């Protein structure tokens, strides 16, 4: 596999589709962590994230020839596949419930929320893991996407805009609103606050 280390993701994908197992394994090692974490934070379910990750790589093998370099890198191509599978999982089963309704929180638009000064990383350190995950997962999809990509997966605004097919300004606007909704959900939650335990390797921030 050492001979493949210098190959780009696009080259590894091409070799994988052609049947070279070692190229596929290396591509899997490169892409799997970010795909898993994206799916995990979007679904709030390790089982669902594992399912999505598996389906993404099966799809890469089956449909990898559809990849076009001019449309973006392989990671973006894989993200598009992951996003579709996440939506299927969310349609099939709702893994989050019980926090304030999105409709009620949307009425907060335009109101100043002082807690916005608290960054997501700080919130995560001071909230129970399950509560934070549930709060993120309960956001409307277009807000959840930007929180997961920009804060939990630490993608740049430009990368998030490319992944979601919108302008950087739209990403900034959605992120600000998403933070407001997230803080309000956590604020209204009645569950006790505890210090977060260290996250596992699969569940830590990228």
Q: What is the CATH number of domain 102-188?
A: 1.10.10.10
pLDDT (average), residues 103-120: 46
> Does the pLDDT of residue 106 top 70, yes or no?
no
Range with lowest mean pLDDT among 2-11, 162-171, 176-185:
2-11
What residue spans in the chain does CATH classification 1.10.10.10 cover?
102-188
Percent over 90 (pLDDT), the chain: 38
CA 112, 113, 114, 119 torsion: positive or negative?
negative
| pLDDT above 60 for 173 | yes
Residues 136-150 have a mean pLDDT of 90
The predicted structure's pLDDT at residue 187: 78
Structure tokens at 190: 């009645």
Q: CATH 1.10.1740.10 in the chain, residues?
A: 2-92
pLDDT at 117 over 50: no
Residues 35-55, mean pLDDT to the nearest whole number: 92
End-to-end Cα distance, the chain? 25
pLDDT digits (tens, 9 = 90+) for 55-92: 999 999 988 888 887 777 899 999 999 999 999 988 87
Which parts of 18-73 fold into alpha helices (H)?
21-43, 46-63
Buried b (16+ CB within 10 A) or exposed e, 101-120: eeeebeeeeeeeeeeeeeeb
The widest CA-to-CA distance across the chain, in whole angstroms, is 57
- The CATH fold of domain 2-92: Rna Polymerase Sigma Factor; Chain: A (1.10.1740)
Residues 140, 145, 148, 151, Cα dihedral to 10°: -100
- Judge whether residue 127 has pLDDT over 60: no
Which token pair is 58? 């099966």
Q: Assess contact for 204 and 125: CB atoms under 8 A.
A: no
Q: Quick one: pLDDT at residue 71?
A: 75
Question: How far, in Å, CA of 203 to CA of 175, rounded?
Answer: 21
């Amino acid at each position: 596999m050492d001979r493949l280390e210098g190959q780009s993701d696009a080259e590894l994908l091409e070799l994988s589709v052609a049947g070279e197992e070692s190229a596929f394994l290396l591509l899997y090692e490169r892409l799997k962590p970010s795909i898993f974490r994206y799916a995990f934070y979007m679904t709030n379910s390790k089982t669902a994230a594992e399912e999505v990750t598996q389906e993404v790589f099966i799809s890469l093998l089956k449909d990898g020839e559809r990849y076009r370099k001019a449309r973006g890198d392989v990671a973006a191509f894989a993200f598009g596949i992951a996003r579709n599978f996440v939506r299927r999982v969310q349609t099939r089963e709702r893994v989050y419930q019980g926090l304030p309704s999105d409709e009620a929180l949307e009425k907060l638009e335009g109101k100043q929320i002082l807690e916005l000064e608290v960054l997501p990383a700080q919130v995560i350190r001071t909230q129970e893991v399950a509560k934070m995950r549930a709060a993120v997962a309960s956001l409307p999809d277009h807000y959840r996407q930007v929180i997961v990509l920009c804060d939990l997966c630490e993608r740049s605004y430009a990368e998030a805009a490319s992944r979601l097919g919108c302008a950087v300004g739209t990403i900034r606007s959605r992120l600000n609103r998403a933070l407001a909704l997230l803080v309000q959900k956590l604020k209204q939650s009645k569950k006790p606050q505890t210090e977060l335990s260290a996250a596992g390797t699969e569940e830590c921030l990228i």
